[in-house]
Amino acid sequence: MKKLAKRIAALAMTAAMMTASAGAITQDGQSETWFDGVWALIDAFGLKAEHDPYVLQNYINKYLEKHPDEMYDVLNDILSLLDTHSMYLSSEEYSQGFSTLEGFVGIGVGLQETENGVQIAEVMRYSAAEEAGLQIGDLIVKINGEDATKLKNADVASKLRGEEGTSVKLTVRRYGRDITVTCERRQVNRVYVSNKTMADGVEYIKVSAIGSQNDWSAFSEIWDSLPSKNTRAVILDLRGNGGGLIDAALKMANAMTPVKDAELAGVRYRDDMGGLEQTYSTGNALPLNKIVVLVDGGTASAAELLAGSLQDTGSATLIGSKTYGKGQGQFHIDLVNGDKLVITTLELELPKQGCWEGVGLTPDIQLENRKVTVNTKDLKPLDTSTTLRFGDSSDAVYAMTERLSLLGLLTEATGRYDGDVADAVASFRAAYDLPAALYASPEMLSALDEAVTALNGQTYLVDDQLQSALEMCRLAAAKPQKYIVKSDGSWTKK
C-alpha cells in the first residue's frame, strides 16, 4: 500500500507538472518541452520502459523502415545535437569533404596526354613509382606487355590502379630508350609539404595540410636538411591548413621545440578511453634564432595544435589573423556499406591556452594582407636603361621599389638600395627565371616594368604577412648562428 501511495503521489505531481505551460525550466537548467513531460511519464510508469532503454532507438528504426531515404538526415540531426563536427557521410560526400586525408591505390604518378601519347607529369614522393626510378617526362609505351601508345589519359590511369599488393609492369621511353620496371600497387597519399630558401639563412616551409604520415616524413627531411644550409631562421606557413593527423602535428611541434620536457599539448578522450594524454618535448630541436608561424582563418584543428603549441612554449612568433577555432578531434570510422561516421571523440588542449574550440588562436602580431589596386599613372617613371646597385640612393631606386612593393616583395618603397631591396631584386629574378644577381640590370628592370604594367587597373592581395615574417627572419638570421655543423653533417650547440 505504501508503494502504491508513493506511485499515486508521484503520478499526481507529474500530472500537475503537465498542466504547466511548456517551456518551464527544469532543475538541471534545461528548457522542458511538452514532449519532455510526456516522455517523463512514459519513462516513470511504462511497464516495458523500465527494462528497455532503447525505446527511442527502436522508434527511430521503425520510422526509418518506412522512410529509408531520410536516414542521412535523421542521423545527422542527432549528431548535430552532440557537436558541430560529427557527421554521417556517404563515401562520395566524404571524398569531397576530406580529400586531403584520402589517398588512392596505385603506383603514384600524375599523367599528361601529349601528341606522342601519355607521359608521366608527376612522380609522387614515397611512392612505388619513385622507388622504381620513374621520372617526369617518361613516355608510357606498354602496360603489362600491351601497347599503350594509343591509350587516353583515363585509360592509362585505370590500368595503373588496382588492388593493393598487386603488381603492374610498365615500359617507358626515356630519351629514345625503353625501360621496363615493375611496381607494386599500394596506398598513395599526396604530400602537402614544400620549402624554399627565401634569403641567406632563412628557410620557408609551407604545410598546406597534414593529411598523412608522408607529410611528417617530408617535413622531417626538410628540417634535417636545415643545418647543411646554415639556416638560422624559419617561416612556417600554416595559412589555409585545415588540419589532419594529430600525431603528425605533435611530431612537427617536437622537432621545432628546443626546450626539453616542455608540455606540447594534451589530448583529452572520454574517461573510459583513457582521459587526458599529454605530450612533452624531447629537446633535440635545432637551435634557431627565430621561427615565425603564419596563420589565418583557414588554419584549423591539427594545424592550430601545431601553431598553438609553438606559441605556448615560446618557440615561435605567430603572425596573421585569428585562426578558425576547431579544438576537437574526430574518429573517421569506415562502415561496411562504404559510408563514413565522423564522430568527435577528443578535445585538444594547449599548455597555456587550453582548448580553443570555438575561440581560435590570436596571433602575437595581428596583420591582414593589403588589397592593392595598381594604377601605373601614380608611379614614378622607371628608367629601364640603367643598372642599379647595392648602396645606390636615387629616384630610380624609389621607382623600382614602388613596383617591387606592389608585387609584395617589399612592404614599402624606398630610395635607398639596401639589403632588403637586394633580396627583393633576387626574389624577382628567381620568379622570372632571370640570372641570379643582387643588382638590377636593364633586363630585370624591363621585366619588372612589364609585370606591373600588366597588372594596371587590377586589384589583388599583397602578402604583407609573409613579407613581415621575412623581414623579421632576415634580422634574426643576421645574428650569430647558435650551432656548429660537423664534417659528418650533424650539428652541435655552440
pLDDT in tens, 18-75: 444 433 434 444 546 777 777 777 777 777 777 777 888 888 889 889 998 998 898 8
pLDDT at 323: 97
Instruction: State which CATH number among 3.90.226.10, 3.40.50.880, 3.40.50.300, 3.40.50.2300 fits the domain covering 193-366.
Output: 3.90.226.10
pLDDT at 290: 98
When mean pLDDT is compared across 107-116, 175-184, 274-283, the lowest value belongs to: 107-116
pLDDT, averaged across the chain = 87
Using the predicted structure, report yes or no on whether residue 192 has a pLDDT greater than 80: yes
Contacts of 469 (CB under 8 A, 6+ apart): 235, 292, 294, 319
Grid cell 644577381 in the structure block, residue: 437
DSSP 353: T
CATH architecture of 104-188: Roll (2.30)
Q: Which CATH superfamily is domain 370-462 in?
A: PGBD-like superfamily/PGBD (1.10.101.10)
pLDDT at 10: 43
User: How many angstroms separate the CA atoms of 479 and 229, rounded?
Assistant: 15
Using the predicted structure, report yes or no on whether residue 83 has a pLDDT greater than 70: yes
Identify which of 293, 321, 357 has the alpha carbon closest to the alpha carbon of residue 83: 357
- 14 pLDDT band (50/70/90 cuts)? very low
Residue 381, C-alpha cell as written in the block: 617613371
User: How many angstroms separate the CA atoms of 106 and 306, rounded?
Assistant: 31
Q: Where in the chain is the domain with CATH 3.90.226.10?
A: 193-366
Q: Identify whether the C-beta of residue 119 lies closer than 8 Å to the C-beta of residue 175.
A: no
Using the predicted structure, report yes or no on whether residue 204 has a pLDDT greater than 50: yes
Q: Where in the chain is the domain with CATH 2.30.42.10?
A: 104-188
When mean pLDDT is compared across 55-59, 211-215, 349-353, the lowest value belongs to: 55-59
User: How many angstroms separate the CA atoms of 14 and 325, rounded?
Assistant: 43
User: How many angstroms separate the CA atoms of 67 and 317, rounded?
Assistant: 54
pLDDT at 13: 40
Q: What angle do CA 259, 261, 264 make, to 5 degrees?
A: 85
Kindly report, residue by residue over 418-470, the tens digit of the pLDDT: 988 998 898 888 878 888 888 999 999 999 999 899 888 887 778 889 989 99
Distance of CA 36 to the CA centre of its chain: 43
Quick count: other Cβ atoms within 10 Å of Cβ 357?
18
Using the predicted structure, report yes or no on whether residue 121 has a pLDDT greater than 50: yes
Q: Where in the chain is the domain with CATH 1.10.101.10?
A: 370-462
Question: Mean of the pLDDT values across residues 301-323?
Answer: 97
Query: Where is pLDDT greater, at 97 or 331?
Result: 331
